[in-house]
Amino acid sequence: MVVFIQQFINGLAIGMAYSLIAVGFSLVFGILRLVNFAHGAVYAFGAQFALVIFVGMQISIALAILLAMVAAGLLGVIIDKTALEPLRKKKSMPIANLITTIGISHILVNLMTIYFGSQTRGFPALFSFGMIEVAGVRVDSNQLMLCLVALILMGVLTIVVQKSKIGLAIRATEQNTKAASLMGINVNFVISFVFFLAGASAAIAGGLIASHYRIVFPAMGFDAGLKAFSAAVLGGIGSLPGSIIGGLIVGVSESMAANFLGSAYRDSVAFVILILVLIIRPTGLFGKKAIMKV
């Protein structure tokens, strides 16, 4: 029983890490109906950048992650402005945007390999209060902090989207881009802002996850990005609470699979569950039905 609970808690911590990344997929998908496959690479960039300025500028790791948030946010904006906006202006097919994001992800990962090297490097721990043990179940303080920061981040993002003026503009653009722009909303700015938010959240995710596992490497966004993407789809892509729930389900099912079926099955089970959910609920758990715009 203790092992079962321990595995469940392990799964929650893994799941929280996925939801942190999944948020960025949801944000961009919500506004552009675009799966931004470059998000995983931006996440890796956030972590790498934080490490580089932590080492180079001798500042605290928390400050380094904050600076990395800005850098990754700007990177998101640059990606949109240089690669995606021209495609939108040309009214190209959605698939062209999708392929472009995959291409950008490869470009980013290779540039990181060139500038930072391909080796796995150590990342400093952000929090270290040791282990907390309750009735034989151990929780790492890092895991707790990871969950806490993820929840705070979700809260902040929800408030921004639901309560603020820019959030209103985001939701308006989400519903109808043309109408929003007729109402005087600067749609291009709104889209850039969303890319900034997504990039900044990717850097937080990157910094937290890297400091939890204490490693960074250029390709770290690939697997994590894929799992986070499936978490976002599972929860209903475009929905913020959906990405948390989706992430937790993927994480817990992974650790349960490792527990009951053996760790070799760990990665496939998450995707089996994803497929099952999508057969039963094609829009994901929290997803809204897509409205056909005429």
Partner 1 sequence: MKKKTIGILVVLALVAVIFAGCAQGAPQAPAQPATPAGDAGAAPDAGAPAAEGGNVRIAVAAPLTGDNAEYGQGFLNAARLQAEHRNAAGGVLGGRQVEIVPFDDANSSEEAASIALRIASDGDFAGVIGHFSSGVAMTAAPTYNENQIINISPSAGHVDFSGIGEFIFRNNTVVVVEAGAILDIAVTDLGHTRIGILSIMTDWGVSTSDVIMNLVDALPGVEVVAHEEVMEGSPDFSPAITAFEAADVDVVISVSQYSTLAPFAIQYRTINPEVDILGFSNAYTRNLIDIGGESVERVRFPVSFFADSPDPVIQAFVSEYIAANGYSPSALTAQAFDAVGILLDAIDAAGTTEGEPVRQMLHEISHNGVAGVVSFDAGGDVMRDFFRVVIQDGEFRLTN
Minimum Å gap between C-beta 17 and partner 1 is 8
Minimum Å gap between C-beta 259 and partner 1 is 6
Q: Which range in 160-168, 195-203, 217-225, 277-285 contacts partner 1 by CB under 8 A?
A: 217-225
217 interacts with partner 1 by CB under 8 A: yes
Provide the CA 223 distance to its chain's centre, in angstroms: 12
DSSP summary character for residue 293 = P
Q: Using CB under 8 A, pick the residue from 63, 148, 214, 290 that binds partner 1.
A: 214
Q: Is the CB of 13 or the CB of 150 nearer to partner 1?
A: 13
Residues 102-141, one symbol each (x = binds partner 1 by CB under 8 A, - = not), give --------x--x---xxxxxx-------xx------x-x-
Tell me the C-alpha to C-alpha distance, in Å, between residue 155 and each of 40, 48, 161: 22, 26, 10
249 interacts with partner 1 by CB under 8 A: no
- Rounded Cα distance between 116 and 110, Å, is 10
**What's the sign of the alpha-carbon dihedral 59, 129, 149, 38?**
positive
Residues 193-212, one symbol each (x = binds partner 1 by CB under 8 A, - = not), give ----------------x---
13 interacts with partner 1 by CB under 8 A: yes
263 interacts with partner 1 by CB under 8 A: yes
Minimum Å gap between C-beta 25 and partner 1 is 18
- Rounded Cα distance between 268 and 250, Å, is 10
Q: Using CB under 8 A, pick the residue from 60, 156, 162, 223 that binds partner 1.
A: 223
- Rounded Cα distance between 262 and 20, Å, is 26
**What's the sign of the alpha-carbon dihedral 150, 153, 155, 158?**
negative
Q: Is the CB of 7 or the CB of 201 nearer to partner 1?
A: 7
**Residue pair 187/281 in contact by the 8 Å Cβ criterion:** no
Minimum Å gap between C-beta 74 and partner 1 is 26
User: Which tokens sit at 164?
Assistant: 């603020």
DSSP letter string over 219-266?
Answer: THHHHHHHHHHHHHHHH-TT-HHHHHHHHHHHHHHHHHHHHHT-GGGH
Q: Which range in 13-21, 66-74, 79-87, 167-175 contacts partner 1 by CB under 8 A?
A: 13-21
11 interacts with partner 1 by CB under 8 A: yes
Q: Is the CB of 7 or the CB of 173 nearer to partner 1?
A: 7
**What's the sign of the alpha-carbon dihedral 42, 290, 157, 84?**
positive
User: At residue 140, what are phi and psi to the nearest 5 degrees?
Assistant: -80, 140
Which stretches of the chain bind partner 1, using CB under 8 A?
Answer: 3, 6-7, 10-11, 13-14, 17, 110, 113, 117-122, 130-131, 138, 140, 209, 213-215, 217-220, 222-224, 254-255, 258-259, 262-264, 266-267
